[in-house]
Amino acid sequence: MIRFLSDYKIAVANLKATRVRTALTILGIVIGVASVTMILALGEGDKNMVKTQVNSLGENVLTVRPGKAYRDSSGNITNYNFLAALSASTLTEKDLQSISQIANVETAAPLMLIAGNISDTDGQSQQGTIVASNENAADALGLSMRAGEFLSADTPSHTVVLGDDLAVALIGSDVAIGQKIILRGQSYTVSGILNHSSSSASVSNVFDINQAAFISMDDGKSFNQGIAQIQQINIRVADTSQIGATAQSVQQELLKNHGNEEDFSVLTPEEIVQLTNTVLKVVTSFIGAVAAISIVVGGVGVMNIMLVSVTERTREIGIRKAVGATYFQILSQFIIEALLMSIAGGVIGIAIGYALAYTAGTLMGFMPGVTWPIIGIAFGISIGVGLVFGAWPAIKAARKDPIEALRYFQ
Amino acid sequence: MQPVIELFGLSKMFGVGDATTVALDDINLTIEKGEFVAIMGPSGSGKTTLMNILGLLDTPTHGEYYLEGKAVTDLSQHKCAKLRRDHIGMIFQNFNLLSRSTVIDNVALPLTYRGNAQAKRLTAASKLLRTFGLNEREYYMPYQLSGGQLQRVAIARALVTNPAIILADEPTGNLDTKSSEIIMSELADIHMQGNTIIMVTHNPDVAIYANRVIQMIDGTVASDSKHPETLNTTGNKRPLSSFRKAMDAAVNANKEFVEATAALLPPKTRGKRKAAAARRKRMAIKSRKAKK
């Protein structure tokens, strides 16, 4: 212990004696550790965002969509082209019924998106989406009412429930019900207006709830020559712990309906969120590769400088050996010196990495995660770099022949 | 009494095949505790190689080396380092102090490797420096001291672990006459306190401080003359005139030999490849001389 303390003092003195060189070497480590910290913090932030989205979606919601999702051996979705699948939905009302009868399925709501003009009674068009669904939609999508009530089984036809943004745009109020609006040229009565929804991932990439006009399935079919074109079925399960088993039952039931052709996919909340974050994944894995490279480059910098230092101090090593320093005492002196540089670089790098992560996070719209494991990993990497890249120069120093070393001309 | 150093049939060779150079050739030597030995000889006679082996910095090719009765020839490097630290103090011609450490840290360096606490290290170092009159220079850097002072710091460093033997390789080689005298009287003092000193030197004026002079030629012990009386009985730092005469004779013999070989060996023939042949020639001259 005493020796390590004196090794530490020797190392500090030597590093101070070559300030600029030390600072530049540390800079290399700083860049590496900063990028690792940033990537880990962004990854953690991404994970947090997924968690938040899953929570807002509800952990007990399964989503059925047309189109096959390709999964790898561990069950992660590797490829899923739902936009292409939207053009020719394979989901039918029969599927909806089959799903409703499965145990543990509390409610199942179809979503049928209808293209068409939405306008007020004066003919002023507004941007929005016509969505046909059933009375379960409010529950399955987690919608709540600001005014009036949602669609129910005995709601008369030509009744519409509006998202709050669309309501304000069409009728200038988000509480007035009983007003008329025009959907695809037909007059509809507003029976309810929704609370503002922070759009959940299961629907946000299909349509914006705040811009939606919900109508009944029968009204929806009347716009589509009497045929139901269901783009998505949201299922709320009763027992969240059984959600995996329920997903499988849904899968099996639908396979039966579809003649064993898997032209649909049953997605858990996590999978839905995953799909929305693929771009971020590409970005993070790219920065990850850069971080790994810069760590190695930083380490090579440490090794380089340590080798120079060992050569410069050949005579010093000879003197130390002559007065009785053992192999391990010389080894530890140089390892500690390399470690000091890499740890200093690590500490600064973690701080800079978080600063960068916050900047990047602000631009991307989410906060990076600050956790001890990330700091631990980044710190561990910096120690590892010092040990790995400091080892060879230290071994080289410790192996020096004292006679040769003492003869070395400085 | 157990001798401090015993060498039996010690040889050291460098190189392989035709290029083999015999640096030490079958050296048998016993050094008792409390002796002050001066090893003299021309360049290339194996003095430094012998010192390196005695200091456990190098290992012999053949033969046995007993340090304080313990065989040390086949010890691991780790054990050699520990023996160096605890039993051997080294003094060099060019001082070999750490240029970036203070005087007191330099002196305390061997204690650092022994694992002593800082307070203990510095106390011991400070105490020694005071005996050398350097107590006011403790926190000076080496470049702020004169040559004589630097060598005294080096001697203090060699003494700090209270070693069994002190090895000095040309301790006055880089010093002027006055500083040399000071350093040698310091060493003589240390010797009188009971320390064993083995010193390599070219300089007969320095060798007279020793009470035993070993003359080395071509890796062998050519002569080994002991002082008739030990110094510490008289308290006289200067050796007796009879000893001086014996020593002068040895030095002159050495000079003659060097001149004779120099005449036979033009500098150009001293290439590495021809080293062996040159050595054979020299051996021949030596044997002829012995016959006379």
pLDDT tens digits, A80-107? 665 555 556 788 888 888 888 888 888 8
Q: Examine the domain organization and report whether A342 and A402 are in the same domain.
A: yes
Nearest to A323 among B52, B78, B157 (CB): B157
pLDDT at A319: 93
Q: What is the pLDDT of residue B271?
A: 58
pLDDT in tens, A227-282: 888 888 888 888 888 888 888 888 888 888 888 888 888 888 777 777 666 666 77
pLDDT score at B285: 77
Give B57's contacts in chain A (Cβ within 8 Å). Answer: 321-322, 402-403, 406
Asked, for residue A79, whether it belongs to a domain, the answer is no
Are A251 and A106 members of one domain? yes
Tens digits of residue pLDDT in A300-357: 999 999 999 999 999 999 999 999 999 999 999 999 999 999 999 999 999 999 999 8
Decide if A176 is inside a domain. Answer: yes
Residue B170: phi and psi, rounded to 5, are: 50, 60
Chain A window 375-404: which residues touch B at a Cβ cutoff of 8 Å? 402-403
Taking all residues of chain B, what is their mean pLDDT, rounded to a whole number? 83
Instruction: Give yes or no for residue A118 having a pLDDT over 70.
Output: yes
Q: Which residues of B touch A (CB under 8 A)?
A: 52, 55, 57-58, 77-78, 81-82, 84-86, 88, 90, 92, 96-101, 109-110, 112-118, 157, 161
Q: Is residue A337 part of a domain?
A: yes
Does residue A58 fall inside a structural domain?
no
Band (B269; pLDDT cuts 50, 70, 90):
very low
Last residue of a domain, one of A204, A228, A262: A262
| CA nearest neighbour of B91 among B160, B183, B159, B155 | B155
Q: Right CATH number for B5-240 from 3.40.50.300, 1.10.1200.10, 3.30.390.30, 2.60.40.1180? A: 3.40.50.300
Question: What is the distance in angstroms between the Cα of A358 and the nearest Cα belonging to chain B?
Answer: 43
A390 shares its domain with A323: yes
User: pLDDT at position A278, please?
Assistant: 66
Same-domain status, A206 and A319 = no
Tell me the pLDDT of chain A averaged across its residues. 84
Same domain, A294 and A341: yes
User: How far does A3 lie from chain B, in Å, by closest CA?
Assistant: 6
Is A63 a member of any domain?
A: no
Say if residue A371 is in the same domain as residue A401: yes
Contact list in B for residue A321 (CB cut-off 8 A) is: 57, 81, 84
Task: Flag if B115 and A3 touch (Cβ within 8 Å).
Answer: yes
Q: So where are chain B's domains?
A: 5-240
Which pLDDT value is given to residue B230?
42
Confirm whether A306 is domain-assigned: yes
Q: What value of ipTM does the predicted structure carry? A: 0.78
- One domain for residues A296 and A335: yes
Domain span at A210: 91-262
Residues of A in contact with B109 (CB under 8 A): 319-320, 323
Count up the domains in chain A and report the number. 2
List pLDDT tens digits, range B112-141: 888 888 899 999 999 989 988 888 889 999
A153 HSE (CA, 13 A, CB side): 0
Which of B82, B98, B114 is the best substitution to test chain A (most A C-beta atoms within 10 A)?
B98
Do residues A107 and A254 both lie within one domain?
A: yes
Select from A3, A323, A325 the Cβ nearest to the Cβ of B90. Answer: A323
Residue A3 contacts B where some CB pair is shorter than 8 Å: yes
- Write out pLDDT tens, residues B48-99: 899 999 999 988 999 999 998 889 988 898 999 999 999 999 998 888 999 8
Judge whether A75 lies within some domain.
no
CB contact under 8 A, B115 and A2: yes
Give the per-residue pLDDT at A74.
64
What is the pLDDT confidence band of residue B287, given thresholds at 50, 70 and 90? confident
CA end-to-end span of chain A, whole Å? 32
- The answer on A250 and A290 residing in a single domain is no
Task: Determine the distance in angstroms separating the CA of B239 from the nearest CA of chain A, rounded to an integer.
Answer: 31
Q: To the nearest whole angstrom, how far is the Cα of A284 from the nearest Cα of chain B?
A: 47
Long-range contacts of A132-135 (CB under 8 A, 24+ apart): A132/A214, A132/A215, A132/A216, A132/A217, A132/A219, A132/A220, A132/A221, A132/A223, A132/A228, A133/A109, A133/A214, A133/A215, A133/A216, A133/A217, A133/A220, A134/A109, A134/A110, A134/A216, A134/A217
CA dihedral B106, B107, B110, B115 (to 10 degrees): -90
Contact A324 B86 (CB under 8 A): yes
Kindly state whether residue A69 falls inside one of the protein's structural domains. Answer: no
